Amino acid sequence: MDYTLMHKDVEVVNIEIHDVIGGITRIGDVDAVKHIPVGVTTGNNEINHELLNKWWTGRSIPASRQGIRGVLEKLKISSTKMLIDKCMGLSLSDQYWIRPVNSDLAWGKVNFFENSFSEDMGNVLFGRGGDGKISLLSPNNTSDGWLRKKWIIADDKRYLVKGASEPFRQEPLNEVFATEVMCRLDIPHVSYAVKKEERQDEKGKLYSICEDFITPQTELVSAWNIMLTQDYCDDESDYQHFLRCCDTLGILNAKSAMDQIFSVDFLIANTDRHLSNFGAVRNADTLEWLGIAPIYDNGTSMWHNALSIPVGKINIVESEPFCHSHAEQIKLASSLDFVNFEKLSDIEYVVDEIYKQSPSIDSNRRKRLCRAVSNHVLLLKKERDSRVFIKPRHQQQKNVVDDVANLHIEENHVEKAMDLLKEVPEDVRDEVFDALKTFGKIHLTFENGKYNVLTEATTKTKYARDYEFLGIIKAEDVYTKDERDNHQTYEGQRKREFMGR
């Protein structure tokens, strides 16, 4: 069937959707290039058929969703992809939809942000109802994730209700705990609360509930689609690529926002921060980027389905999306200075109070959760304390060797070297002094949150974002000629003066 892909009331492109498999089989001429979904075009702004299909079918309920096979059988539908066009592709995460060709439907009359929708599909997804005629005009047709979930309307607001998994049904409480942590640390986030089932057959079961943070004027773009906007550079990591894509698009402060995501995920042991579980928000009318989205969807954390909780073994806690473990991924954070550890001093009490709400979590498991989270707080603090951050003396250059050459010809090299040494920690300063007893000069760099004292110039001509060349310090900057001639067998006058001894 022929449709027009719409962005609110902007006609983007005519497409044909297969009646059986639900995929896009034909793409017509583009009417509004700027409104093409993010990440589905080639370098010359032409739509890539495969990427557009992935974007479209990615709007469907995943095949891994709890109970989805029974739902499809009840609806007599072969695939979740067949559900997308039943609701015109409308979602509560963005403003895209499909309109039948020659139709005069307007976005204002059909969108789910401002118009009511049936709860039939949501109830069916939760295993209820479905015996009579079911209305498929629902945003629940385009919800992702593997847990049962449904959109509801309460007090004219849109809320997402999410279920839990056996045996501990812990995910709703994980969302509440993550909310508490982020509130304390002043990190932008979506707030979750616990909803208790009142139906007699499921009485006492816990669900999480949160308000939709997307409005009729905004939309969420996943990190996955953001990363499709640029080709990879040579030797570029996934994380460096993501940051460069954000920079190119004009998404501000991406690195500091990711620092917060890495830290929260470290604290709560989140194992499911895949590339569709975070992203950026933009204005759907002006297409202006508003920044990285507030942190959401934290349920697959806190060892939610683990029969035993490995206290103290952060290296085996899996992470996504840029490293395999949290011990590795936290190293990507450019700064941890924003973490106020005093606000986490009673974290064990907080864990115990939140998780005692669940009849599925006994006291022994709560104790293990308390110890594990407390240990993660200590490990994050240890990581923070192992770093010393200084204000960069040099902006990153295209060629480090040029920096080295420029420092060699500066007339006031001694003064500049002393200024540099005043900015580094005392243990690094001592290492510099010791190295200069043997070597004529050293090169000081800052990489991955640590100082490096090198005995020869680096030959890097292109380096990672976290690499900082600080400068050269020569032996004559610290020791007198006599001291050098005597192989630096005693501490030099300059060093004693510098150290205030």
pLDDT in tens, the chain (501 residues): 899 999 999 999 999 998 878 889 999 999 999 999 999 998 788 999 999 999 998 888 877 777 777 777 777 777 788 788 889 999 999 999 999 999 999 999 999 999 999 888 888 888 776 666 778 888 988 888 778 889 999 999 999 999 999 999 999 999 999 999 999 999 999 999 998 876 655 667 899 999 999 999 999 999 999 999 999 998 899 999 999 999 999 999 999 999 999 999 999 999 999 999 999 999 999 999 999 999 999 999 999 999 888 765 666 789 999 999 999 999 999 999 999 999 999 999 999 999 999 999 999 999 999 999 999 999 999 998 887 543 343 433 334 444 444 444 344 556 677 777 777 787 788 888 888 777 778 888 877 677 788 765 443 433 444 567 777 888 777 777 777 666 544 455 555 455 554
CB atoms within 10 A of CB 421: 20
Q: Which amino acid is at 70?
A: G
Contact present, 8 and 94 (Cβ < 8 Å): no
**Distance from C-alpha of 243 to C-alpha of 263, rounded to nearest angstrom:** 17
Both 97 and 26 in one domain: the answer is: yes
Residue 172 token pair: 């709703």
Residue 431 token pair: 């290492």
Both 404 and 444 in one domain: the answer is: yes
Residue 194 in any domain: the answer is no
Q: How many CA atoms lie within 13 A of 154 on its CB side?
A: 10
**Distance from C-alpha of 91 to C-alpha of 144, rounded to nearest angstrom:** 11
What pTM does this model have? Answer: 0.76
Q: Which amino acid is at 302?
A: M
Contact present, 379 and 310 (Cβ < 8 Å): no
Both 277 and 362 in one domain: the answer is: yes
Domain count, the chain: 3
Which of 209, 208, 203 lies closest to 359 in space, CA to CA? Answer: 203
Residue 469 in any domain: the answer is yes
Both 226 and 364 in one domain: the answer is: yes
* DSSP classification of residue 159: E
Query: Cβ contacts of residue 106 below 8 Å, gap of 6+?
Result: 9
Residue 196 token pair: 């208790």
Contact present, 295 and 190 (Cβ < 8 Å): yes
Rounded to 10 deg, the angle between the 413-422 and 400-408 helix axes is 120
Q: CA 404, 472, 464: angle at the middle one, nearest 5?
A: 65
Both 447 and 326 in one domain: the answer is: no
Q: What are the backbone dihedrals phi and psi of residue 253, each rounded to the nearest 5 degrees, phi first?
A: 60, 30
Residue 174 in any domain: the answer is no
Both 19 and 83 in one domain: the answer is: yes
- End of a domain among 162, 181, 196? 162
Residue 248 in any domain: the answer is yes
Contact present, 165 and 145 (Cβ < 8 Å): no
So what's the pLDDT on residue 454? 79
Pairing of strands 279-283, 289-292: antiparallel
Range of the domain at 253: 218-385
Q: How many CA atoms lie within 13 A of 345 on its CB side?
A: 3
Q: What are the backbone dihedrals phi and psi of residue 187, each rounded to the nearest 5 degrees, phi first?
A: -105, 130
- End of a domain among 385, 412, 445? 385
Q: CA 417, 420, 425: angle at the middle one, nearest 5?
A: 130
Q: What are the backbone dihedrals phi and psi of residue 35, each rounded to the nearest 5 degrees, phi first?
A: -100, 5
Both 118 and 227 in one domain: the answer is: no
Task: For residue 136, give Cα distances in angstroms to 1, 59, 86, 157.
Answer: 18, 15, 6, 20
Residue 249 token pair: 């698009």
H helices of 12-130, in order, are 49-57, 68-75, 107-110, 120-125
Both 467 and 345 in one domain: the answer is: no
Residue 239 in any domain: the answer is yes
- The CATH number of whichever domain residue 341 belongs to comes to 1.10.1070.20
Both 153 and 280 in one domain: the answer is: no
Both 294 and 411 in one domain: the answer is: no
So what's the pLDDT on residue 412? 53
111-118 long-range Cβ contacts below 8 angstroms, 24+ apart: 111/216, 112/138, 112/139, 112/151, 112/158, 113/158, 113/212, 113/214, 113/215, 113/216, 114/216, 116/153, 117/151, 117/153
**Distance from C-alpha of 163 to C-alpha of 178, rounded to nearest angstrom:** 16
**Distance from C-alpha of 136 to C-alpha of 111, rounded to nearest angstrom:** 14
- End of a domain among 144, 162, 180? 162
Contact present, 62 and 80 (Cβ < 8 Å): yes
Residue 167 in any domain: the answer is no
Residue 257 in any domain: the answer is yes
Residue 303 in any domain: the answer is yes
Can you say how many angstroms the Cα of residue 416 is from the centroid of all Cα atoms in its chain?
39
So what's the pLDDT on residue 399? 41
Task: For residue 184, give Cα distances in angstroms to 174, 264, 304, 344, 481.
Answer: 16, 11, 22, 8, 56
SS3 193: strand
Residue 130 token pair: 């479905």
Contact present, 310 and 326 (Cβ < 8 Å): no
Both 427 and 360 in one domain: the answer is: no
Which of 249, 225, 254, 293 lies closest to 465 in space, CA to CA? Answer: 254
SS3 88: coil
416-422 long-range Cβ contacts below 8 angstroms, 24+ apart: 416/471, 417/471, 417/472, 417/473, 417/474, 417/477, 418/477, 418/498, 420/393, 420/444, 420/470, 420/471, 420/473, 421/473, 421/498
So what's the pLDDT on residue 258? 98
Both 154 and 257 in one domain: the answer is: no
Task: For residue 341, give Cα distances in angstroms to 219, 277, 337.
Answer: 33, 26, 10
